[in-house]
A and B are shown apart, each in its own frame.
Chain A
Amino acid sequence: MFKTKKLDSDKVFGFFNSIFLIIITALIVYPIYFILIASISDPNAVAAGQTMLLPKGVTFLGYAKILEDARLVTGFKNSIILTVWGTSIAMAICLITAFALSRKELPGRRFINGFFVFTMYFGGGLIPTYLLHQSLGTMNTYWALILPGLSVYNMIICRSFFQSNVSEELFESIKVDGGSYFTFFFKIVLPLSKAIIAVIVLYTALGFWNNYMTSLYYIQDSKKWPLQLVLKSITDQIKANSSEVGASSLMAMETQKAEQLTRYSVVIISSIPVFLLYPFIQKYFVKGVMVGSVKG
């Protein structure tokens, strides 16, 4: 009697819980799905609301148009260059710094650590940094985005990983063989830390790929714009178009039509790298969040 009552209430709970989860998941996935099918559908069918579940009048014209758009193609190239260089440099600095700070025998270790952590909470802010780049001549170059790019947060994660996963005996054995810190770092520490390096590389690369604020601040030459800035200017255009209901002139209508054709494919194209990385991210992501939360 008692048991069945409990079972019933659990069943009801389980039922509503499943419905709740299905709705949430659908709300999160559907916009992406909709944009994907709208990107390969006839724009008129999309505008008429006929592509809610399945594509209609399949066409790849939107994608073809994007490949013709010089702005987007250069933006894509710029973003790749920026991400590859930025990630390599940021990773190299992050790893050597984390290694040095992970050695307990380093005199002044706590002070240097505080020196880094302070910058997480306080900085000069927009204008002083902008003026600095102006006087350094790094304006309009990717150096302005790459050089200040050391993430103290990632560095601390790596440092904690080195401390808890690389044993002292290994260092002792290297010392006995006459090896230095350099050999220890390259021969032992790096190979032992592949998992954490993978996580941090993913985060860093994603950060460079998705970053748009610093490029908005420091890259004014539109030929050097990374993809996200190009995308922002396209979005601004759509917003401007849609502020005025009903296009006034024939010209405006024509540009709107062309723009409508590409507006969905542009979203898909810009997120391709994210989708390509997704399997790796999936493998390491949860681990990464957990490392971060352990550090607290």
Chain B
Amino acid sequence: MKLQKNNGDVAILSIKKESLLKRILKCWQLYVFLIPAVVGMLIFHYYPIYGITLAFKRFMPGRPISQAPWIGFEHFRRFFASPNSMRIIWNTIKISMVSQVLLFPLPLIFALSLNQVQHIRRKKFIQNVTYIPYLFSVVIVMTMAVVLLAPNSGIINILVEKFTGEKILFFGEDKYVLPIYVITGIWAGLGYSAVMYLSALSSVDQEQLEAAKIDGATRLRIIWSIELPALRDTIVILLILQCGHLLSVGVDKMLLIQTDLNRGASDVIGTYAYELGLIKGDFAFSTAISLFNNLANISLLLIVNGIANKLSDNSIF
């Protein structure tokens, strides 16, 4: 009996083996389709992963990474020993925390508010207009900010001068870095983030809404008891995704905010790694800092994903 069963298994296995080769041959055209992307990924994404070993080596200019001598955790020790690094890590955490805490509820409130508009064309108009800034590049957004905040002719400084009699150097002081980063972020992302919630809101059960209205529920009551719960899954997933960026401040944007005068607040891990690596040429040290940043972000993402999985059955993996 047992033997027979085993024989059967072997037979099935051999049939499968034969057909696997056949199946592969049948699909040869599909493999041809995959060649460019696979080769591209191997060269530009997988090969550089080997280069991370540089974080544990001493870089020798003109010599390949494989020949560089190992020095263990020397770069990491150097990074964590310097008081400068603590300031940079703190800046990064502060800026990303504040901007995410503020950036998270606003699109939600905006979407719920916009969803109350009964007039379809008005609603569409506001939705279409408010995501325009999302289409602009960071450079354009920051150029706008620089131009509007300029001390000599920027409209905001003109208003400030009218009320206080003095001009503000917005790009010349540490205390303005965080507000500029956060406000431009809200301006550029509010409408776009709201689209996600609005599309989730459009799937709210209409019958339930009607029933609530007939029962005499106020609009606020409907928002609180029907619409907000309907957004729960979207909210959790967006929260998890955000946590993966807890230790990353947009380098692209920060480089545009940074001036020599506000470096006390605008030096973040990303800009520091860029500057050390590509401007000062300290390749190995820069790689170590980037690696630390990446690992910190991935661990945060996994931790939060795990917690969310336990609490609400929602997770991205």
Contacts and interface: CB of A to CB of B under 8 A. Distances in A.
Interface string B298-317: 10000000000000000010
Interface string B122-138: 00001111111101111
Nearest to B23: A107
Contact of B49 (A107, A123, A216): A123
A24 B130 contact: yes
A282 B128 contact: yes
Classify the interface of chain B: helix, strand, loop or mixed.
Answer: helix
Interface string A9-23: 110011001101100
A130 interface: yes
B152 A256 contact: yes
A31 B183 CA distance: 13
A268 B171 CA distance: 22
A267 B140 contact: yes
A124 B243 CA distance: 21
Contacts of B26: 105
B67 interface: no
Contacts of A270: 137, 139-140, 143
Which of B36, B142, B147, B158 is most buried by chain A, counting CB atoms within 10 A of its CB? Answer: B147
Interface string A234-263: 110011111101000000000010001001
A259 to B, nearest CB: 10
Contacts of B10: none
B294 A28 contact: no
Contacts of B37: 93, 96-97, 116, 150, 155
Contacts of A206: 135
Interface in A140-183: 147-148, 150, 155, 180-182
Nearest to B130: A28
Classify the interface of chain A: helix, strand, loop or mixed.
Answer: helix
B135 A278 contact: yes
Interface string B44-58: 111111111010000
Given A130-B278, A238-B146, A21 B126 contact: yes
Contact of A148 (B40, B65, B153, B167): B40
B279 to A, nearest CB: 11
B195 interface: yes
Contacts of A96: 33-34, 36-37
Interface in B250-303: 251-252, 255-256, 259-261, 273-274, 277-278, 283-284, 286-287, 290-291, 294, 298
Interface stretch (B1-9, B95-103, B214-222): B214-222
Contact of A267 (B113, B127, B143, B283): B143
Contacts of B150: 238, 241-242, 263
B38 interface: yes
A277 B128 CA distance: 13
Given A14-B116, A131-B65, A274-B136, A28 B147 contact: no
A105 B126 contact: no
Interface stretch (A66-74, A190-198, A207-215): A207-215
A127 B140 contact: no
Contacts of A256: 152
B79 interface: no
A125 B54 CA distance: 11
A286 interface: yes
Which of A106, A119, A277 is most buried by chain B, counting CB atoms within 10 A of its CB? Answer: A106
Given A14-B116, A290-B199, A124 B137 contact: no
A148 B196 contact: no
B191 interface: yes
Contacts of B48: 123-125, 128-129, 131-132
Nearest to B25: A107
Contacts of B136: 210, 271, 274
Which of B37, B46, B54, B234 is most buried by chain A, counting CB atoms within 10 A of its CB? Answer: B37
Given A10-B218, A105-B23, A238-B146, A293 B199 contact: yes
Contact of A122 (B147, B294, B316): B294
A225 B242 CA distance: 32
B151 to A, nearest CB: 5
B169 A286 contact: no
A107 B261 CA distance: 58
A217 B133 CA distance: 25
A296 B237 contact: yes
23 contacts: A9-B218, A21-B113, A25-B130, A28-B130, A28-B190, A47-B152, A93-B37, A93-B40, A97-B33, A100-B34, A122-B294, A123-B48, A127-B54, A132-B43, A148-B40, A148-B44, A235-B139, A235-B143, A242-B154, A260-B152, A260-B153, A267-B140, A277-B135
Q: Would you list the 5 A-B pairs with minimal beta carbon distance, nearest first?
A: A128-B51, A124-B48, A210-B137, A148-B44, A128-B48
